[in-house]
Structure 1
């Protein structure tokens, strides 16, 4: 019925030193920090990103910033249904070719004609992806794709035409469906198949969902589709749509997260997977075990996340928590989640800790053998590597970078 769907499917404490004079002085002493120039950082940079790179906006990469902004307003699984505890991936959409990797290829003329601007597609399931990167048989799953168009008229037209194009892929077996809670949505299914597609316009946005349940029960499918729209549409009310000029004016690293994140490579530009900043909801799209990470984010008061580096090179992650103690607790929890194997900490890096993975699965992302966590003030950073010496150098460089980024 519906073709080509998303199956796609995260530094430091200080040494004690105090200066006292001859006179009596009231108050507490303050700790001093280590000289980061003494750390073994290998080849890795220790200066903030903005001293090494100047972002010059152009539309092709500015759309990546637009998708990062959008991600903070797209539903996670738990927003839809508490049973949807696993993320199955997130894909940024910056052109129509990208959109048709998620939607049916037949929808491309509609996207072009209505001037689709950008979008994001995210997946959720009640079961974790199997080793083939697919949702196991009998899973309840949702794929939610949010696209922005130039205005409400274009979005409304696109919503109707997108469903028509998808319906036409198998018009002889598809049937139209009306959702009880969203009669203005355009929906269809193939009787006897436990999935449904539905598309709705909301201002300048179009929300498309492709979802499935264990059995071909139309009532269960329409209830789930209504849940998707009930959760997603209000999130878009707090996200003013962008004009093309507005896309180009989006701030790069407004919260100073990327400047503090170790960037292993030498090439920089906004990229949803490899150089991005997110709020908690946007971060959760990047992880599989959303229930675990949602609790950690809440417990630590994390309000910003950033990542820098390609998957093949080992990305770095940075979390901004509510205060220093929360950052240390978050670091311990992250390391304990799949990296509890004993590994020495890097020499001279205060409060840094490392571990070896106990998980050999490669379902969601490539899992590297070693992980080090570093806490610095209210920040917690995570670096990974397949070589322990390299992980130590990354951790040392990340600590030095944080210390060099306090202004």
Structure 2
């Protein structure tokens, strides 16, 4: 099963959850399929009678996406564009090999309110448009090592970005009254506004560059635990890692041209033609982020639990686009690659095969039995042509209807 930490089959938080104790993450250990090779689906695909599939109230034909609020939708699309070029945590520090929980695209200040003081965000961050965040740590265990969260906020002007960096640093972090906070200065980035909380082993940095603010938050959770357990003095501030995050992120931003604010509403809703083929999310569905959209391969690596593993899978299958709706739809280079990708991601020691839905024998459905209490219990997978789809649900009948409807959409794409 795909270890999509930010919602591949689990309930997602609507906020940035940097501290692992508060974060809802998919903690499933992913095992690439062993002894479960690609199955021959061709004859079965030809025998599928779409009229006999139980699709419930889900649509069964491709639907061009629409929006009633192009301006707000445009901000989200800009965030997705940003994610396609921003570095992974592992590209800042190779030891941060596992993605941690995060709300990637954010347009509201409450995305930060668990750790960052946003009481005055409207005044502190005038001209804020959208942001994208990524987060990583050395292992799935949130108590080991440190967690690095790196976010970029886009503003409507360079002056507003510079003002916001200073104002947000003054507002500071959410801390207990009386907690010691120290302002630090980077020898490499004089414009960076940095605060250090030694007793919490937490460093935050706001760095303005052009129309962007690079926000870096480093939580040295293991250092804090050791210091508390053995009454040891706090470790020094991790300034070198903060500087590296700024360097790598600022370099990536040189390849990103922000969309003028008055043009955000004109951004295409479905630039790769993927959303029209993706099962739409029903009203009130909380199993994924509150947006639908597409990532390129790199952007999707912010979502998966083990980026290196999935970079290899994506490369092997030639994946160039992934869409997010009521499930995920992956576009591979060809039909065989899509089937191989599906075989790889649908195998896990925590997933137990169950019967497929009536009329769709080529679907692979499983029930989850594992350590993540937040994981959706039912998942189904199917491929059609060069596309591989995954859906999930709390209810078996619903997951059957979702995968049947997703298959019908792909089959009806004439």
Do the two structures share a fold, i.e. TM-score over 0.5? yes
Going from structure 1 to structure 2, the CA distance change for 1:125 and 1:208 (only over 3 Å counts) comes to: same
Q: Does 1:299 align with 2:305?
A: no
1:38-187 to structure 2, matched below 5 A, reads 38-50=52-64, 54-91=66-103, 92-100=105-113, 103-105=116-118, 108=121, 110-112=123-125, 114-128=126-140, 135-136=142-143, 138-166=144-172, 173-187=180-194
State the match for 2:345 in structure 1.
334
1:190-201 to structure 2, matched below 5 A, reads 190-201=197-208
- 1-structure distance, mates of 2:43, 2:407: 14
- 1-structure distance, mates of 2:281, 2:235: 49
Gaps of 5+ in 2: 1-15, 27-39, 224-233
- 2-structure distance, mates of 1:168, 1:395: 42
- 2-structure distance, mates of 1:250, 1:102: 32
State the match for 1:208 in structure 2.
215
Q: What do you get for the CA RMSD once the two structures are aligned?
A: 3.2
Q: Does 1:248 align with 2:265?
A: yes
Which of 366, 382, 394 matches 1:374? 382
- 1-structure distance, mates of 2:97, 2:151: 18
Deviation at 1:244, TM superposition (A): 1.9
Report the secondary structure of 1:74's partner residue.
coil
Deviation at 1:171, TM superposition (A): 9.5
- 2-structure distance, mates of 1:168, 1:285: 26
Going from structure 1 to structure 2, the CA distance change for 1:381 and 1:347 (only over 3 Å counts) comes to: same
- 1-structure distance, mates of 2:63, 2:83: 23
1:349-360 to structure 2, matched below 5 A, reads 349=360, 351-360=362-371
Going from structure 1 to structure 2, the CA distance change for 1:329 and 1:335 (only over 3 Å counts) comes to: same
Q: Deviations over 1:213-272 (max 9, x none)?
A: 3434336x112112212221122222211222121111101111111111252689xx95
State the match for 1:21 in structure 2.
none
Alpha-carbon contact 1:68-1:272 (below 8 Å) kept: no
Which of 271, 281, 300 matches 2:298? 281
Alpha-carbon contact 1:263-1:308 (below 8 Å) kept: yes
Deviation at 1:116, TM superposition (A): 1.5
Deviation at 1:97, TM superposition (A): 4.4
Q: Deviations over 1:91-129 (max 9, x none)?
A: 2322344455553235525434x3222213332222336
Report the secondary structure of 1:123's partner residue.
strand
Alpha-carbon contact 1:304-1:319 (below 8 Å) kept: yes
State the match for 1:22 in structure 2.
none
TM-score (normalised: structure 2): 0.78
Alpha-carbon contact 2:127-2:155 (below 8 Å) kept: yes
Going from structure 1 to structure 2, the CA distance change for 1:105 and 1:72 (only over 3 Å counts) comes to: same
- 1-structure distance, mates of 2:148, 2:324: 26
State the match for 2:29 in structure 1.
none
Deviation at 1:302, TM superposition (A): 1.5
State the match for 1:217 in structure 2.
235
Alpha-carbon contact 2:180-2:199 (below 8 Å) kept: no
Deviation at 1:275, TM superposition (A): 1.8
Going from structure 1 to structure 2, the CA distance change for 1:173 and 1:342 (only over 3 Å counts) comes to: closer
Alpha-carbon contact 2:89-2:134 (below 8 Å) kept: no
Going from structure 1 to structure 2, the CA distance change for 1:165 and 1:350 (only over 3 Å counts) comes to: same
- 1-structure distance, mates of 2:357, 2:350: 16
- 2-structure distance, mates of 1:173, 1:352: 56
Q: Give the count of matched residue pairs.
A: 367
Alpha-carbon contact 1:5-1:104 (below 8 Å) kept: no
Larger Rg: 1
